[in-house]
Amino acid sequence: MNLEDKALGIILCGGLSSRMGSDKSQKKVNNVKLIDIVVGLATNQVFKLALNASEQKTEKFNLELVPDCMSGNLGPLVGILSGLKWTKKQNFKWLMVFPIDSPFFPKNIVKVFFKNLKNEQVVMAKSSNRLHPVFSMWKVDLIEDLEFFLKKGERKIDLFTKKIKSRLVNFPVIGYDPFFNVNNEEDLRKAENIYSSFFQRQGD
């Protein structure tokens, strides 16, 4: 089993999409839904992929549903905790997290994370001196600490990761940020421009 096969993957698809006004996962870039793009990029990077989402979003992909283990739409950390519990049940040690709203992330991000990993419990992506904490890989050993953190009412990823062994991995920006994320209609237009400028001409 290769190093990259030792991670399971989860797509965080359970947000409210309040700034978008409707389900973000169904928005399209180059006539392809964001959820299709992210599933396509993530599938071959992990041993198994699941969705942290409502049930109807899993129908098309035949992916396992991992619902939030805590109620109340409490943010990405709850999705990560839910994914970690699922990962532990599968007897894997690492969970790779993919947000639904970033259609250009690297096709080798998991491999790069493992290559840079030493004895850390979390690895997170960075580009242009900006942290992208949701693009991260977590060790299942963190379940108990993360659950305690959330039950105290804490919600911020970076606040939690400051308390543990973590590593930041920098990714180059070549014309566009690989972790560009789509939050609103203007971002969708920017994503279309990125695609037409950098991907269409490559034939991707």
The residues pairing with 139 across neighbouring beta strands, listed in sequence order, are 94
SS3 116: helix
Structure-derived torsion over alpha carbons of residues 132, 133, 139, 143, reported in degrees to the nearest 10: -160
- In tens, the pLDDT along 69-122 reads 988 778 899 999 999 999 999 999 999 999 999 999 999 999 999 999 999 999
Amino acid, res. 100: I
CB 110 within 8 A of CB 46: yes
pLDDT at 134 over 50: yes
Per-residue confidence (pLDDT) for residue 18, from 0 to 100: 47
CB 30 within 8 A of CB 71: no
CATH homologous superfamily for the domain 3-202: Spore Coat Polysaccharide Biosynthesis Protein SpsA; Chain A (3.90.550.10)
Helix orientation angle between 143-151 and 76-89, rounded to the nearest 10 degrees? 150
Domain boundaries, the chain: 3-202
CB 57 within 8 A of CB 122: no
What token pair was written down for 8? 């399971």
- What is the pTM assigned to this prediction? 0.91
